Amino acid sequence: MRRPFIAGNWKMNLDRAAAIALAEGLVKHSEGKVGVDLAVCPPSVYLDAVGRVIAGSKIALGAQNVYHEANGAYTGEISVAMLQDLGCKYVILGHSERRHVLGETDAAINKKVHAALKGGLVPIVCVGELLEEREASKTLEVIRRQFDGSLAGVSEAQMKTLVIAYEPVWAIGTGKVATPAQAEEVHLDLRKILQERYNKGVAEAVRIQYGGSVKPDNAAELLAQPDIDGALVGGASLKVDQFLGIAAGAPK
């Protein structure tokens, strides 16, 4: 049985005071929430402050990106060890905004995945098709290409610890959510890819989140799908009641 996992991607939002207030609200109102794993991924400059607020709570800390090198002359980048120093457990990798706005390639994502795994961070690896790719019936082709490129060389043991997020790009921040059937179809495809590339045990173990305009009013139906194991939430993760409302929709 895969435990539902709801993660909030705060992106480049909030200021320090608002980030702390959001974290405080989440800690206060998440007490007693059982059966679901929760994480927040604030902007890197607020990781320390938010980490202090959520320390000892049931909310884990995640980063939105990392660099693959351990240290050195990489101006502006942040290493796996630095994130661990701040108490991070997770790191989002290959988010569509990094792929499509910032030009990150599967090869670059793959280096980051290996660095994160080697250093003990759990990668949340995002895959997802553009609207034109879906309309051209290329969704599965894109998912396979991103899977094979971003996750090349990941061992069976490592794969079991990793989280995949299926995020159709046309549904991110647009209010256009994939229907539960559309999302489930791709999640099932991802599980088939896991079985082909690894085995049934891996396919059954890996948690696959859905992301793309998840809100409290659509979460339960999405999360009830057999191959959807949680959500990666953008906009709705910036409000305590919405983020925890989504978590409340996870099957018990």
Among 95, 97, 184, 187, the one annotated catalytic: 95
Number of residues that bind ligand PEP (CB under 6 A): 13
Phi-psi map region of 201: left, alpha, beta (phi>0 left; psi -120 to 50 alpha): alpha
The torsion angles phi and psi of 47, rounded to 5 degrees, stand at -60, -45
Span from 110-118, 129-137, 185-193, 234-242 in contact with ligand PEP (CB under 6 A): 234-242
Give the 3-state secondary structure of the chain. Answer: CCCCEEEEECCCCCCHHHHHHHHHHHHHHHCCCCCCEEEEECCHHHHHHHHHHHCCCCEEEEECCCCCCCCCCCCCCCCHHHHHHCCEEEEEECCHHHHHHCCCCHHHHHHHHHHHHHHCCEEEEEECCCHHHHHCCCHHHHHHHHHHHHCCCCCHHHHHHCEEEECCHHHCCCCCCCCHHHHHHHHHHHHHHHHHHCCHHHHHHCEEEEECCCCHHHHHHHHCCCCCCEEEECHHHHCHHHHHHHHHCCCC
Give the 3-state secondary structure of 161-186. Answer: HCEEEECCHHHCCCCCCCCHHHHHHH
Span from 28-36, 100-108, 207-215, 244-252 in contact with ligand PEP (CB under 6 A): 207-215
Nearer to ligand PEP, 222 or 232 (CB): 232
Span from 82-90, 185-193, 196-204, 206-214 in contact with ligand PEP (CB under 6 A): 206-214
Nearer to ligand PEP, 79 or 187 (CB): 187
Q: Does 66 bind ligand PEP (CB under 6 A)?
A: no
Nearer to ligand PEP, 196 or 217 (CB): 217
Span from 55-63, 103-111, 129-137, 229-237 in contact with ligand PEP (CB under 6 A): 229-237
Catalytic, 221? Answer: no
Q: Does 62 bind ligand PEP (CB under 6 A)?
A: no
Q: Does 217 bind ligand PEP (CB under 6 A)?
A: no
CB of 172 to ligand PEP, least distance (A): 4
Q: Does 211 bind ligand PEP (CB under 6 A)?
A: yes
CB of 174 to ligand PEP, least distance (A): 7
- Return the residue of 42, 128, 168, 212 that touches ligand PEP, per CB under 6 A: 212
Residues in the chain, how many? 252
Among 97, 104, 129, 167, the one annotated catalytic: 167
Contacts of ligand PEP in 123-182 (CB under 6 A): 167, 172-173
Q: Does 209 bind ligand PEP (CB under 6 A)?
A: no
* C-alpha of 164 from chain center: 7
Q: Does 232 bind ligand PEP (CB under 6 A)?
A: yes
Catalytic, 167? Answer: yes
Task: Return the active site residues.
Answer: 95, 167
Q: Which parts of this chain interact with ligand PEP (CB under 6 A)? A: 9, 167, 172-173, 211-214, 232-236
